[in-house]
Amino acid sequence: MTDLNLLTTLNVLLAEKSVTAAARRLGLSTSAMSRSLTRLRVVTGDPLLVRAGRRLVLTPRATRMREEVAAVVESANAILRPSEKLDLSKISRRFVLRCSEGFVETLGPALLARIAREAPGITLQFLTKLDKDSEPLRQGSVDLETGVVERSTAPELMVLPLFKDRWIAVVRHGHPLAKKGMTLQRFADCRHVLIERRGLQTDDIDRALQTEKLDRQVGAVVNGFASALALARESDLLAIVPASHAEGLRKGMQALELPFKLKPFQVSLLWHPRMNGDLAHQWMRNCVKAACSKQL
């Protein structure tokens, strides 16, 4: 039977990449830590740490297992930790939430109002999501993230569905398209502001037009919803944005249904499993979920 205490030792060794530093952190002698490393090499069938000049480096397998081992150890500690109560009035902490444009404008005020009422010592930092990279969650520089789960999403991340969204066309009030009504031909004839951003999938829109042997006329190209709507607000350009997610950005503008059907998409909340048992983190996840359900 495998000694599960070795997991804690392995976790520290992979984090420190040093037998001496790991021994110091666990309060063991260097020789005792060396013996544990030998046992771990036998159990895993991998050297784990190898010499590179004067320092030790992780093997490819050790690099792959580092995050998984850390999550397992954190989960085990959470299970064995004495039951505790969360006192929101005494918490002083910063949470980092990475989200696409429009989330702050649409849901931020209600979310911050609840935090101010229940946990005034908590600061919520919003970061604009510019790509689908999962590394910020893995590394701990981001606590929570909103987005659409795709194949590129790290498989170990925890996922909580928030709401379903759909694409809509948005134009300024008084736009000719709003007066005449939307048709496929008028949609194609209109000049569009195109959003090009890593991880943003709008190919379905062009495929729907190409089925009818039509193409979009592109008048401008930007990298975000806010820029697209700012241009559409002051011109005859048409922007295509998520209906719910960008609601706060498109106030005072005319929303129109697309002249073809596109599948709705699921917006979810993502976090790393090492934070699963953290009570304050759980509370913050519930706050975001409630904000998206308009239940704050």
Q: What angle do CA 38, 44, 50 make, to 5 degrees?
A: 55
188 and 141 share a domain? no
Do 258 and 187 touch, CB atoms closer than 8 A? yes
Q: What is the pLDDT of residue 296?
A: 46
Do 142 and 127 touch, CB atoms closer than 8 A? yes
271 and 126 share a domain? yes
Please compute the mean of the pLDDT values over residues 192-213 and round it to a whole number: 76
Tell whether the model's pLDDT for residue 198 goes beyond 80: no
146 and 257 share a domain? no
The dihedral over CA atoms of 203, 204, 208, 211, expressed in degrees to the nearest 10, equals: 60
135 and 273 share a domain? yes
Three-state DSSP class for 49? strand
Question: Of 54, 80, 106, which residue constitutes the final position of a domain?
Answer: 80
Q: What is the pLDDT of residue 82?
A: 59
DSSP3 helix / strand / coil % (the chain, rounded to 5): 45, 20, 35
Tell whether the model's pLDDT for residue 141 goes beyond 50: yes
255 and 270 share a domain? no
259 and 272 share a domain? no
58 and 143 share a domain? no
Q: What is the pLDDT of residue 28?
A: 87
Q: What is the pLDDT of residue 1?
A: 55
Question: What range defines the domain where residue 9 resides?
Answer: 5-80
Q: Which residues pair with 270 in a beta bridge?
A: 145, 159
155 and 110 share a domain? yes
CA dist., res. 102 & res. 283, Å (int): 23
Structure confidence at residue 83 as a pLDDT band (50, 70, 90): low
Convert the pLDDT of each residue in 18-73 to its tens digit: 999 888 888 889 999 999 999 999 999 999 999 888 888 999 999 988 888 888 88
Total number of domains constituting the chain: 3
Please compute the mean of the pLDDT values over residues 229-237 and round it to a whole number: 95
Q: pTM, whole model, 2 decimals?
A: 0.67
Query: What are the residue ranges of helices labelled H in 81-125?
Result: 103-118
Q: What is the pLDDT of residue 47?
A: 92
* Contact partners, residue 47, CB within 8 Å, separation at least 6: 41, 59
Sheet holding 217-222, edge to edge: 217-222, 191-195, 238-242, 167-171, 254-256
Chain centroid to CA 110: 20
Convert the pLDDT of each residue in 173-191 to its tens digit: 999 998 888 899 999 899 9
| E strand spans, 55-130 | 55-58, 93-99, 122-128
275 and 128 share a domain? yes
Q: What is the pLDDT of residue 2?
A: 60
- Count the neighbouring beta carbons within 10 Å of the beta carbon of residue 16: 18
Do 175 and 181 touch, CB atoms closer than 8 A? no
Please compute the mean of the pLDDT values over residues 245-267 and round it to a whole number: 91
State the DSSP code for 82.
P
One-letter amino acid for residue 70 of the chain: A
161 and 273 share a domain? yes
Question: Of 80, 113, 145, which residue constitutes the final position of a domain?
Answer: 80
- For residue 53, report the phi and psi dihedrals to the nearest 5 degrees: 75, -125
172 and 252 share a domain? yes
CATH of the domain at 18: 1.10.10.10
19 and 106 share a domain? no
Percentage of residues in the chain having pLDDT higher than 70: 93
Do 284 and 144 touch, CB atoms closer than 8 A? yes
CA dist., res. 179 & res. 182, Å (int): 9
Convert the pLDDT of each residue in 109-129 to its tens digit: 999 999 999 999 999 999 988
Which range, 81-90, 110-119, 126-135, is most confident? 110-119
* Contact partners, residue 140, CB within 8 Å, separation at least 6: 272, 274
CA dist., res. 207 & res. 211, Å (int): 6
Least confident of 80-94, 107-121, 157-171, 200-214: 200-214
Do 263 and 165 touch, CB atoms closer than 8 A? no
CATH of the domain at 197: 3.40.190.10
